Amino acid sequence: MAATTVSSNPAIPATAELLSPAPVATSVPWYIWTLFAASVSVVIGGYWDISWHMSIGRDTFWTPAHIAIQMCGILSGVACGYLILACTFGRDATLRPASVGVLGFRGPLGAFIAAWGGATMLASAPFDNWWHNAYGLDVKIFSPPHVVLDGGVLATQVGAVVLIASMMNRSDGATRRRLDRLLLLLGAMVTMLALTVVWESTFRGLMHTAECYRAVAIVAPVVLIGFAQVSRSRWASTIVAGIYTAYAILMMWIFPLFPATPKLGPVYQKITHFVPMEFPLLILVPAFFLDLLRPRLSGWKKWPRAAVFGFVFLAAFLAVQWPFADFLISPASANWVFGTKYFAYFVPPNGFNARHEFFPIERTAAQFWLVMVEAFLFACLTSRLGMAWGDWVREIRR
C-alpha cells in the first residue's frame, strides 16, 4: 500500500532520489578536467602578470597574462554552470543524487563555490580597469580590485578541491587514485597562489626578518596540512611542496628566454627579457618533516598536534631558509640557476637587493622575537585550520 502511494505522487520519487546515497564515481568527468585547466590557467597567468609588471609595466588590461587569469573564471563558469543546470533541470542519475540545493538550484557544493568565484573574478576586471583609470597605475598585490580578484580565485580553487574530493570520496580503485593525483597537483597550485599573496614580504632581502617567516606561517601550513588530511597519500605534503618547487624553478628558467622591454618609467635597470619571480621558498623541507610526524601524532588531540605541527614547520623552515638567504643575497647566486641576477626595471641601483644587502625591518632583538612569536602562533593556528578544513573536505560526498 505504501509503495503504491509513493509511486502515485511524482514529487516523492525526486525526494527519495535526493536522499539516496551519492553514486560511486567510475571515471573522471570532463568538468573536473575543465576546472583543473582553470586552475592551471590562473597560476600561469598570475606568474606571467607579475613578470609582465616587472619587465614591461601595466600597459593595457588586454595582456595575455590577464586573459590567462580571466580564463579561470570563464572555464569555471562553463563547467559549474553546466553542472548546476544539469542537476536542476536534468534527471542525470550520476549528478542529481550527488547535489545540494541553493536558492532553488541544485548542484554539487563545489560547483556553487567555484561558480561564485568565477563570477567574482570576471566582475573584478572592469573594477581593476576603472581603478587604474581613476587612481593611476600600480603594481600592488593588495589593491582593492586585486583583493576582489584574489577572493574569486580562492573560491574557484576551493570549489575545485571540494568537487574533486567529493568525487574521490565516493570512488575507489584507479579512479580514486587518479583523482588523488589531481588533488595533489591542485594543492601545489594553491600553494603557489598562497605564497604569491605574501610574496612582497618574502623577497630575498627580507629573509632575515621575522616578518618573512610570519607571512609564510600564515598561508603555508593550512595548505600543506589541509591537503595532507584530504589525500590518501602518505607523503602528500612533500608531494605538494615538491611540485610547487619544481614549477617555480621551471618558470624562473623559462621566462627570461622571451624578450621584453619596459614601457613605463623611470627605468633603472636594463631589461631585454622577462624578469621572473625569485627562487622558490624552501618549504619542501618542513613539508617532509610534517609528513614524517603525521602518523606518529595520529592519536594526539587536535590542538596539541597543531602546536607540534606549527613548531616543526616554523623551526624547519627557519633552519633552511635563513642560511640559504645568505647565499641568495650574495653575488654568488647571481646567475640563471638561482635567478638573483634579475631585477625589475623600477629597482634603483642603490636598492638593498641591487646592493646584495638585507633590508632591516625589526630594529631591535625584542621586536624580532615578538614577531617570531606571532609567527609561531600563526603556524599553530593555521595548522589547526588545515586539520579542520581537511577533515571537513574528506567527508564531503555531494
Q: What pLDDT was estimated at residue 89?
A: 82
Q: What pLDDT was estimated at residue 137?
A: 60
Rounded Cα gap, residues 287 and 229, in angstroms: 13
Rounded Cα gap, residues 56 and 251, in angstroms: 17
∠ Cα 152 218 278 (to 5°): 80
Q: 165-185 pLDDT, tens per residue?
A: 888 887 778 888 899 999 999
Any bridge partners for residue 102, and if so which? Answer: 105
The Cα-based distances of 229 to 59, 184, 235 in angstroms read 43, 11, 11
Q: What pLDDT was estimated at residue 18?
A: 43
Closest CA relative to residue 63, chosen from 53, 54, 73: 53
Rounded Cα gap, residues 382 and 286, in angstroms: 14
SS3 77: helix
| 269: number of Cβ within 10 Å | 18
Mean pLDDT per 10-residue section of the chain, whose length is 398 residues: 39 42 67 90 92 83 86 90 84 66 81 88 76 62 73 89 87 85 93 92 93 96 94 94 97 95 86 94 97 92 95 97 95 92 88 82 92 97 95 82
Place of cell 603525521: 294
Core vs surface per residue 159-171: b (16+ CB within 10 A) or e: bbbbbbbbbbbbb
Q: What pLDDT was estimated at residue 1?
A: 39
Cell numbers describing residue 172: 575507489
Nearby residues of 192 by Cβ (< 8 Å), 6 or more positions away: 43, 46, 47, 244, 247, 248
Residues found in the chain = 398
Q: How far apart are the first and last CA of the chain?
A: 32
Q: What pLDDT was estimated at residue 66?
A: 87
- For residue 325, the Cα-to-chain-centroid distance in whole angstroms is 24
Q: What pLDDT was estimated at residue 86?
A: 84
Q: What pLDDT was estimated at residue 6?
A: 38
Q: What pLDDT was estimated at residue 131?
A: 67
